[in-house]
Amino acid sequence: NMTVKQKRMLIRILGTFGIYIALTVTEHLGLLPFGEKSPVWPALYLIPYFLIGWDIIYRALRNIRNGQVFDENFLMALATVGAFAVQQYSEAVAVMLFYQVGELFQNYAVNRSRQSISDLMDICPEYANIEEDGQLKQVDPDDVSVGDIIVIKAGERIPLDGRVISGDSMIDTSALTGESVPRRVRAGDEMISGCVNGSGLLRVEVTKEFDDSTVARILELVENASSKKAPVENFITRFARYYTPVVVIAAVVLAILPPLFFGQTWSEGIRRACTFLVISCPCALVISVPMSFFSGIGAASKKGVLVKGSNYLEALANVHTVVFDKTGTLTKGEFKVTGIYPSGDADQETIEKRQDTDKADGWSASQLALLELAALAESSSDHPVSRSIREAWGHSFEHTRIADAEEIPGHGIRVKADGRTVLAGNDRLMKMENIAYKPCPGVGTVVYLAEEGNFLGSILISDVIKEGIPEAMRDLKKAGAAKTVMLTGDRKETGEAVAKEIGLDEVHAELLPGDKVDMVEKLLAECKGKEKLVFVGDGINDAPVLSRADVGIAMGSMGSDAAIEAADIVLMDDDPRKIAAVVRISRKTLRIVMQNIVFALGVKLIVLAMGAFGAANMWEAVFADVGVSVIAILNAMRALKG
């Protein structure tokens, strides 16, 4: 899809091309009554020249007035005016024409890569429905306050973050997360703005103002992405600043010295100087390098990963160490009963790790009896461990079965259940009550149970590892990360068991939030030269570490606001498998950037040398400039494919 500006440019190019061909043909065939040297020819050639080039000449003059002399507009204007001076009229028009073709192509390509990012912009909702006197009224999402109830009809975009009060629907999150599988929501569920409501009518209580909503934050991230330039881009900008004046001085020397000292004609000197100027135009570099990065960021956004600037994309290509926070990043942060060990069971070892079932089905009779007693004992507590035991049992109790519940801080609970004294708690509770217990073989949080002083067994509760994590670690290694590390506040054994299951290189456990920053500092010191450290986290306490790392990656959908603010890259669907994909995109983007730099400079240097010795004319010059630009842009667009 072309913009209006691009369509106008295309009409100018086609019009100029038509006039130019007509003039060249009539001149060669000698169809007009005046000869080749007649002053009518330059006047005729000025028509297509100004038709195609007026804006370049205008920009060159405007920049000279503003004190910015050396840019490509100035080079083009100078070279073509020089060509007119040495009676190379058709070449002057051709240079302008091809330069504008290159510019049009570049504009189109940049818009294409912008488009893939602005597809994300389509997530911006235009209105929210509010109910007034039984009627639905459309208002600006900005005007809705926290606590208001909005109504979202089937097929509408969700305008603000909120909690579903009534209704049941499937939600299409693909615009945000890149995932095509719709998500189910019903009353009580949280939902984020920018997704599309699939089937049902939803009533939603707004939990965040529009400015703080997911959509507003994403749009802000995307808009600011282009301001954070990669070091390579900054180098190219600086390079162009010094390169252009050097080239102009060289062209002046080429025009003056050979005619003065080597008997060359003045018109030949000026011709060579003009050719030299056209060749030297640094468009290919100035355009293709930022565009490659832009395309890379676009490719990542298609996968549901937001990169906040091309500097982070470049840093990611040199990743050496990837550090993960455990809870919420590698694990779901949901505690589940994963093992039940009745004391009399001979086959304790075989009944561990049954994560495939949430409810009480699938356990043996003796395991169920122990689970029921534990759920009974924990029925009055609101601790996450107690909740997970009750969820695993999945049935309710008569309250009359429980009496005299007494919490023993740091140890557990003592309770009368069905008239008998039951103890449920950690190993410290067992030691305190002098009960001979058998240590639980599993790793995680353990609840030991005793009744009337007799040890009955233990229940293991662990945090569930997210799907696809071991695979994500293997992918990261394949993509080039040298070391994977996990930081956790958990006990050493728990941390090490998780690390072993996932396949990590290092684990640092029992850390307080402050220790995490120190640990990252230590790991940063181990990275040599260009090697970079990436930190992946989701929690509020991860914000300082995210900003300290070379590249901070945050979980977007479940992550905290603070983490998303502090991060450099946001995974919109919390899937750590996407990290390896983005590392691959960043490496590919950087490869393309390097190819473009080497190719553009290589061709330029060869043709510049030819031009200086008079072996290249304006046509080779046009190829060295426009041709190289077009090839470099086509190469840059490969980054869009990810």
**Mean pLDDT to the nearest integer, 396-405:** 80
Place of tokens 């025009």: 255
Full DSSP string of 535-592? EEE-SGGGHHHHHHSSEEEEESSSS-HHHHHH-SEEETT--THHHHHHHHHHHHHHHH
CA atoms within 13 A on the CB side of 127: 9
Say how far apart CA 379 and CA 405 lie, in whole Å: 10
Indicate the pLDDT class of residue 18, thresholds 50, 70 and 90: very high
Name the burial class of residue 262, with classes exposed (0-12), middle (13-18) and buried (19+) by CB atoms within 10 angstroms of its CB.
exposed
State the CB neighbour count (10 A cutoff) for residue 312. 24
Residue 561 confidence (pLDDT): 64
Name the burial class of residue 362, with classes exposed (0-12), middle (13-18) and buried (19+) by CB atoms within 10 angstroms of its CB.
exposed
Give, for 415, the enclosing helix (H) or strand (E). strand 412-417
- List pLDDT tens digits, range 553-562: 887 765 556 6
- List pLDDT tens digits, range 559-572: 556 666 777 888 87
Q: What are phi and psi of 428, to 5 degrees?
A: -65, -35
- List pLDDT tens digits, range 265-286: 888 888 788 777 777 777 677 7
CB of 360 closer than 8 Å to CB of 459: no
Name the burial class of residue 525, with classes exposed (0-12), middle (13-18) and buried (19+) by CB atoms within 10 angstroms of its CB.
exposed
- List pLDDT tens digits, range 237-246: 677 678 778 8
CB of 555 closer than 8 Å to CB of 538: yes
Give, for 129, the enclosing helix (H) or strand (E). strand 128-132
Indicate the pLDDT class of residue 356, thresholds 50, 70 and 90: very low
CB of 471 closer than 8 Å to CB of 450: no
Model pTM greater than 0.85? Answer: no
Structure token digits, residue 498: 């998780």
CB of 502 closer than 8 Å to CB of 465: yes
Residue 585 confidence (pLDDT): 92
More confident site: 469 or 103:
469
**Mean pLDDT to the nearest integer, 414-418:** 87
Residue 347 confidence (pLDDT): 45
Structure token digits, residue 216: 């507003």
Say how far apart CA 457 and CA 372 lie, in whole Å: 12
Indicate the pLDDT class of residue 181, thresholds 50, 70 and 90: low
Residue 85 confidence (pLDDT): 78
Give, for 221, the enclosing helix (H) or strand (E). helix 214-225
| Rg from Cα positions in the chain | 35
- List pLDDT tens digits, range 296-340: 888 888 887 888 878 888 889 889 899 988 776 777 767 788 888
Indicate the pLDDT class of residue 352, thresholds 50, 70 and 90: very low
Angle 95-617-74 (CA atoms, 0-180°, nearest 5)? 40
Residue 377 confidence (pLDDT): 86
Which of the residues 71, 161, 325, 568 is marked catalytic?
A: 325
What are the residues facing 6 on neighbouring strands?
A: none
Indicate the pLDDT class of residue 355, thresholds 50, 70 and 90: very low
Name the burial class of residue 246, with classes exposed (0-12), middle (13-18) and buried (19+) by CB atoms within 10 angstroms of its CB.
exposed
If we measure between CA atoms, which residue out of 217, 221, 191, 214 comes closest to residue 204? 191
Least confident interval from 20-24, 217-221, 445-449, 466-470 = 217-221
Residue 343 confidence (pLDDT): 83
Residue 178 confidence (pLDDT): 55
Terminal C-alpha separation, the chain? 21
Say how far apart CA 421 and CA 356 lie, in whole Å: 33
**Mean pLDDT to the nearest integer, 4-8:** 87
> Looking at the predicted structure, is the pLDDT value of residue 102 above 80?
no
Question: Which residue pairs, CB below 8 angstroms and at least 24 apart, start in 529-532?
Answer: 530/318, 531/318, 531/319, 531/320, 531/321, 531/482, 532/315, 532/316, 532/318, 532/319, 532/320, 532/321
The 3-class SS string of 260-329 reads HHCCCCHHHHHHHHHHHHHHHCCHHHHHHHHHHHHHHHHHHHHCCEEECCHHHHHHHCCEEEEEEECECC
Say how far apart CA 220 and CA 209 lie, in whole Å: 15
Give catalytic status of residue 119 as yes or no.
Answer: no
- List pLDDT tens digits, range 579-604: 899 999 999 999 998 998 899 888 88
Output the CA–CA distances (angstroms, integers) from residue 573 to 82, 356, 534, 640, in the order listed: 58, 23, 18, 21
